[in-house]
Structure 1
Amino acid sequence: MNLSVHRRATALAALTALAVSGLAGTTASATPPAAPSAPSGALAAPDIPVANVKQHLTDLQSIATANGGNRAHGRTGYKASIDFVKAKLDAAGYTTTVTQFTYNGTTGYNLIADWPGGDPNQIVMAGSHLDSVSSGAGINDNGSGSAAVLEIALAVARANYQPNKHLRFGWWGAEELGLIGSNRYVASLPTAERAKISGYLNFDMIGSPNPGYFVYDDDPTIEQTFKDYFAGIGVPTEIETEGDGRSDHASFKNAGIPVGGLFTGASRVKTSAQVQKWGGTAAAFDRCYHSSCDNISNINDTALDRNSDAAAHAVWTLSGATTPPTGPVFENAADVSIPDNGAAVTSTVTVSGVAGNAPATLKVGVDIIHTWRGDLVVDLVAPDGSVYNLKPFSSGDSADNVQTTYTVNASTEVANGAWKLRVQDKAAQDTGYINNFKLTF
């Protein structure tokens, strides 16, 4: 979050008319209240695994460590962060676009990811700034928001979510220098394109170590969506004032686009009343704000979990959820051992009874258990032998398992026939097996 830039919030009555039509966590207690249900006729958002969000933060920390300790505009760590997020989204089936801009004589980048489908004239957008200050890795500010938005986007893909409205996600550059990236993006949109964005949700610093639970006081429908979620899990909220108008939502709000968002506090000191309300101490919400200690240790997991789930709830609710697709599912749950540094193996599903070609959004569910997933090359092989690479070899990816859903444009392939998931271990010492392979048409 950039607290050196002030954007005076102005009340725009016309925003209500642009609000998304149909808009209406997990707590630390031993028996947490149930999360609020979705509006009638809508799908509920899935739980966002905080472990997945934390893994993204660990990856961003590693990027900063390998690039001079930061991920700031114009530095190699920022470009590496963009590449990291983009690769995740590409593998999940998003259409991604990276745009460049120049500021202070150096190149910056914005990343936009569009999920296929939904009404292109009604866009629900969620975003966060991906850059850090030059003094540190920026894991709370704003790895926290960026990682949560990334995991929500991946959850959309895993669920093969098909909302009424179009979903778009954004990661902004040079926010810390004055909202530069988001301003450039909004300025690049023709007036007609701006009018299609029915809501922009901003997530900046959502895992502060001494957290508060703040909701932006902007578009009333978006604001109420967040408040309803937190009320449903028994967590009180306050209106966000410390950084009001000083993060990327201001770029959208100033263009007349309805906005909202979440925040857990920066350098301001938590009051005694807030300590009574939320716990913690009468100290800064984030004592490492804009400092070198804003690293992977500077995160409150409970706050990160609650806010990630609240953000997902808003994305699902505001996009007008519908029932999932009813296309047939073909699955092979038989285990197939993957030889260590050996020949490729396959798991096969035979598709029948599907007319015509496979869809442009064929969902390929992959569940591979392996102790070093970077060793693996994973391909989908169509009945005619065409190969679609799902996951390339990546020796530095030491995490366990490949458990995700890929989206493949298989529209040139005849649907019926034997489809194969082909997996090869390309390096020694780690082992695993194919646990499940599923195609959803």
Structure 2
Amino acid sequence: MSLSARQRVLAVAGITLAGLLAGAVPAATAQSVAAAPDIPVANVKQHLADLQSIASANGGNGGNRAHGRAGYKASIDFVKAKLDAAGYTTRIEQFTSSGSTGYNLIADWPGGDTNQVLMAGSHLDSVTSGPGINDNGSGSAAILETALAVARTGYQPTKHLRFAWWGAEELGLVGSKYYVNNLPSTERAKISGYLNFDMIGSPNPGYFVYDDDPTIEKNFKDYFAGIGVPTEIETEGDGRSDHASFKNVGIPVGGLFTGASRTKTSAQVQKWGGTATAFDRCYHSSCDTTTNINDTALDRNSDAIAHAIWNLSSGTTTPPTGTVFENTSDVSIPDNGAVVTSSVNVTGITGNAPSDLAVGVDIIHTWRGDLVVDLIAPDGTVYNLKPYSSSDSADNVQTTYTVNASAEVANGSWSLRVQDRATYDTGYINSFKLTFP
């Protein structure tokens, strides 16, 4: 997990964030779900032992698997060989960061609806100071073994399955950003969900679930509830791992985490056991070796990954339907200036607006945290979509919000109101639309 100076935080007040790019398919609803297999933790640990051996053979002081180092390329080759032998279609993406060549590994399981893609990913690189077995051999090994379980069982899901191992995450999510930024918008729209696994075997573990797409979140929470393990919402690493690259373009995301350098509270010790010390005392250190893994946490999280992948890939998705009112005229947003609006005139809709009004927002801006975004109903009622957040350093606001507007008469002029409340960054409203079921 990379340590960013500015953590990306997207807080939404008073509404549910659907987490979708405008026009993209929503998160899956499980139907006719096949039972997920148990993921043998011994197999996951063997992958970790192999990654440790690769690190030890590359570099001094215990070695590493960092971007631009021989240990990283050897890690990519190791995972690729396993997947090729299991029948996956694999490809390696190359990019450049800090003057060195980086690599992403993308693996597709043949079959399934390629217009509905469920992805699972982990970063495979370590920091230069250690072998990176918990961060993030743990996530990488778990999704590798889950992918191999798909092949062993001959699983044929409704959706298309894609697994990914990212490079240069520790340098600022470089590999996953490269993948997403080079993915055509038509291909982005086919991704029904991205699941991220970064540090899932911390030696003093907590059980954290990403608070993002509600369907993905529920799948993980249901699994842990079923085995009697309480969970908490993940806050330590929000925006610091590869899910942010997908979330920033409106793709639904979710994931698991067992904690990094933050100290486990006494209440969390009561809940999960362990000690009131760091979740991972070897975070980004040379001691992040195979001895730095909690087997129980690794086992539980590996099984939770399989549970979610089987559930979410077995369902179907339905594109948004209904009557669309859209304004595609550009509206410039002044830097640290006055509010601006983009409006649509809704006509021909009987009665009130729905409780799940889809509000499609496409704002191009170089620092979206500067922006406050509101939906204004015909009677002047304000629905806040996005508050100001100085730490939200990503570009653009491109997503679909779901608003309970059932108290409003549908017909009339609805507006998207935007204000830039800080200096130095600029942008414009590219489009605004409302979709009535």
The answer to whether TM tops 0.5 is: yes
Counterpart residue type for residue 299 of structure 1: I
Partner of 1:22: 29
Q: Contact (CA 8 Å) 1:162, 1:321: kept in 2 or not?
A: no
Q: Whole-Å Cα distance in 2 between the matches of residues 87 and 9 of structure 1? A: 38
What are the equivalent positions in structure 2 for 1:355-370 lying under 5 Å apart? none
Q: Contact (CA 8 Å) 1:43, 1:321: kept in 2 or not?
A: no
Q: Contact (CA 8 Å) 1:9, 1:244: kept in 2 or not?
A: no
Q: Whole-Å Cα distance in 2 between the matches of residues 227 and 253 of structure 1? A: 20
Q: Whole-Å Cα distance in 2 between the matches of residues 19 and 308 of structure 1? A: 25
Alignment of 1:127 with 2:128, yes or no, is no
Structure 1's unaligned 5+ residue stretches are 24-38, 323-441
Counterpart residue type for residue 112 of structure 2: G
Deviation for aligned residue 1:75: 0.2
Deviation for aligned residue 1:42: 1.6
What are the equivalent positions in structure 2 for 1:204-353 lying under 5 Å apart? 204-320=198-314
Q: Contact (CA 8 Å) 1:197, 1:257: kept in 2 or not?
A: yes
For residue 143 of structure 1, the aligned residue among 137, 143, 157 is 137
Deviation for aligned residue 1:106: 0.3
Deviation for aligned residue 1:10: 4.7
Deviation for aligned residue 1:3: 1.9
Deviation for aligned residue 1:185: 0.2
Q: Whole-Å Cα distance in 1 between the matches of residues 267 and 123 of structure 2? A: 30
Q: What secondary structure does 1:137 align onto?
A: coil
Could you list the per-position Cα deviations for residues 23-44 of structure 1 after superposition, in whole angstroms to 9, with x for gaps in the alignment?
3xxxxxxxxxxxxxxx6x2211
Partner of 2:367: none
Partner of 1:67: 58
Deviation for aligned residue 1:19: 2.8
More RCO (CA 8 Å, sep 6+): 2
Alignment RMSD (CA, Å):
1.3
Q: Whole-Å Cα distance in 1 between the matches of residues 269 and 90 of structure 2? A: 42
Identity of matched residues, %: 80
Q: Whole-Å Cα distance in 2 between the matches of residues 267 and 21 of structure 1? A: 33
Q: Contact (CA 8 Å) 1:19, 1:221: kept in 2 or not?
A: no
Q: What secondary structure does 1:18 align onto?
A: coil
Alignment of 1:184 with 2:178, yes or no, is yes
Q: Whole-Å Cα distance in 2 between the matches of residues 155 and 321 of structure 1? A: 19
Partner of 1:415: none
Could you list the per-position Cα deviations for residues 158-194 of structure 1 after superposition, in whole angstroms to 9, with x for gaps in the alignment?
0110000000000000000000000000001000100
Could you list the per-position Cα deviations for residues 28-86 of structure 1 after superposition, in whole angstroms to 9, with x for gaps in the alignment?
xxxxxxxxxxx6x2211000000000000000000000001000000000000000000
Alignment of 1:58 with 2:52, yes or no, is no
Q: Whole-Å Cα distance in 2 between the matches of residues 82 and 153 of structure 1? A: 15
Runs of 4+ in structure 1 over 6 Å off: none
Structure 2's unaligned 5+ residue stretches are 317-437
Deviation for aligned residue 1:8: 2.2
Counterpart residue type for residue 44 of structure 2: V
Could you list the per-position Cα deviations for residues 229-278 of structure 1 after superposition, in whole angstroms to 9, with x for gaps in the alignment?
00000000000000011100000000100000000000000000000000
- Higher mean Cα deviation, 158-167 or 312-321? 312-321
Deviation for aligned residue 1:15: 2.5
Q: Whole-Å Cα distance in 2 between the matches of residues 198 and 210 of structure 1? A: 33
Deviation for aligned residue 1:14: 4.3
Could you list the per-position Cα deviations for residues 174-229 of structure 1 after superposition, in whole angstroms to 9, with x for gaps in the alignment?
00000000000000100010000000000000000000000000001100110000
Scaled by the length of structure 1, what TM-score is found? 0.68
Q: What secondary structure does 2:95 align onto?
A: strand
Deviation for aligned residue 1:296: 0.6
Counterpart residue type for residue 93 of structure 2: T
For residue 169 of structure 2, the aligned residue among 153, 169, 175 is 175
For residue 49 of structure 1, the aligned residue among 19, 35, 40 is 40
Counterpart residue type for residue 9 of structure 1: L
Q: Contact (CA 8 Å) 1:202, 1:259: kept in 2 or not?
A: yes
